[in-house]
Structures are given as C-alpha cells and as structure tokens.
Amino acid sequence: MVTAGAEGPAGSGAQLFVIDPIERLNPAKDSSVALMQAAERAGRPVWVTTTAGLMARQPPADGGDPMEAHGAWALARPVSTLPWHQPGDPVLLPLEAFAHVWMRKDPPVDEAYLYATHLLELAERRGVTVINRPAALRAWNEKLSSLRWSRLMAPTLVASRVDALAAFTAEHREVVLKPLGGRAGQGVVFAAAGTPGLGALLELVTAQQSLPVMVQAFLPGVSAGDKRILLVDGEPLGAVNRVPSGDEFRSNLAVGGQPQATELSEAERRICAELAPALRAEGLFFVGIDVIDGRLSEINVTSPTGIREVERLGGIPLADQTIARLPSG
C-alpha cells in the first residue's frame, strides 16, 4: 500500500467513486460505471473505494504536520473503464486529492453508511465537493423526503400504529405499503380493505408497531408505468418508463419491470421545477425521482439508477452530460 499526499498520483480532475465492491457491478447496466466511463472520456482519472476504505487520520509523518487536524482519507484504487477491467493497486490518499467524490454506495442507509457520510463531511469542510452532499444524504430519506411536496403525491400516511394504517386502508380501499428503508421495490406490499389477515400484515410490516411505514393510496395508473426521471443540478436530463411485468404491480427493474422510452409531460416538468430549488440548495446534484400517473412517489438521492436505460432507449448521452455539468473542483 502506497501513501500519497494531496499532490499525489490521483491526477488533475480526478474522480473518486465510493461504491459497493466493484466486482459486484455489471458494467452493461450500472449507472456508477456509466458515470465513471463518462469521466474517463472527459479526461478525468477515475478511482474507486468502498465505505470500508474511508478513514479519518492525521497526515503521515513524512507527508505533513503530524499535529494537523484529522482529515478524511481513502484507500483507493485507480480504474480504467474504457475498456472495463479490474482496478490497480490501492493507494492511501487524502480526499483533497480528488476534484469530486461521488457517494454511490447502495442502500441500506445503515450505521456504516451514516458513519461514511460523517467522514465525507470532513473532506467537504476542506473544500472537497461530495456528490451528493453528506448532510443531505442523511436528511433526505428517499420515502419521507417526498412529504415536503405532499400535495404532489397520492394520499399518504406514515405511521406505526396498526389502527391508523387500517383506517387509512379502509378509507382508500386499495393501498401500497412501503418500508421506509427499502430500495428497488423490496418489501413493497399491495393490500386492500378486505385483505384477509390485514391486521397481522400491518403488525408484521411495522415490527409490532415499533417502526413507521408509508402507506399510499394505490394508483391503478401504475400499470402504464412508473417513470424514473433523472435530474442533474435540478434539471431533468432524461427519463425511462418502467412497466410492471405479468401480475406484478411493482415496476422496479430489479423485480422485472420493463424499461420503455418516454418523454416528460408538462405535469412532470412542473414537478421537477418545484423540486429543483431545494435540490440545488441542499447539494443534491444527481437525483432520480419516481412519478406514477402524474404523482410524485419517491426522491432517490443515495445512488440513483437509470442512466443506461435512458441512454439506450432515448439516445441521450446522459452520463457525459452529467460530467460536463460538474461544479468546479
């Protein structure tokens, strides 16, 4: 393992991607890989690490003042993505060596994830641009953050009490239950007022009334698709429509949803325009929102996906456009 200072081997304009182990990524489908390849096309060296590779430490004895305050470092590996192959040897680098640090670790947003955002915040205080901003990653739960714009959503309740959830279900007849920490449609359940054992189901999803869940009125329009819209610095650059397969009501690609080319409606553009000021103000540079039948469903900020589908179906060079819009760093 090599240790380098801020002027070390990362390279001018270098990008660091904090991701899941790179061996798990599918280059043909993964949005992080699409961004890495776009960065390399733009002449920006690409490095990767994991949350386990982040650390806070003083400068090494041969690399600076040992009394200097702790900063954020990463055990990072350089990677050439064109063509795709495995990364090089690890180098211990201060995060100031990178023009931008991308936090692209997939959920769950667990203790390890939260601690990683605190370490990234150390780098941010030293002028490093982190995408997306660590404080916003902690504050914007991908389900609950939509409640800032509840009038754009389907009727929604967040609660842990079974009686409240049952009453909401009785009022709206058909609902969708969503765990607040879920991703890719995992744990999302359809229920109806007449569902046998509804009370037991509600006890199960709330862990015996100890965890809140989101319940929303079911939108039959989901059969026509759930639209993923990708926003870069608040501007929608592309979208893909995800249509459920067979008897499945969930449209997530991870559970078999089929991607289709699509255009944004005026209503969807208005939703994006309403969200844009808050996204920009809170440092949410790359975001994916989900819209069903003209209603806002979720705001994805951790590691939004869909780039490959937008590029393939819409002919939009979305990853290159994203890299071109990066803030100076």
Q: Residue 284: CA atoms inside 13 Å, Cβ hemisphere, count?
A: 29
Contact 260, 297 (CB under 8 A): no
Which amino acid, residue 286?
F
CA distances from 251 to 47, 255, 307 (A): 33, 7, 17
Cβ neighbours of 69 (radius 10 Å):
11
DSSP secondary structure string, 235-278?
Answer: EEEEEEEEE--TT-----GGGTPEEEE----HHHHHHHHHHHHH
CB 118 within 8 A of CB 259: no
Q: Is the pTM of this model over 0.75?
A: yes
Instruction: Catalogue the active-site residues.
Output: 143, 178, 228, 242, 250, 290, 298, 300
Per-residue pLDDT of the chain (329 residues; tens, 9 = 90+): 455 544 456 678 999 999 999 989 999 999 999 999 999 999 999 999 999 999 998 766 665 565 566 789 999 999 998 887 778 899 999 999 999 999 999 998 999 999 999 999 999 999 999 999 999 999 999 999 999 999 999 999 999 999 999 999 999 999 999 999 876 667 788 999 988 899 999 999 999 999 999 999 999 888 888 899 999 999 999 999 998 766 656 655 565 568 899 999 999 999 999 999 999 999 999 999 999 999 999 999 999 999 999 999 999 999 999 999 999 86
Angle at which helices 307-314 and 31-41 cross, to 10°: 70
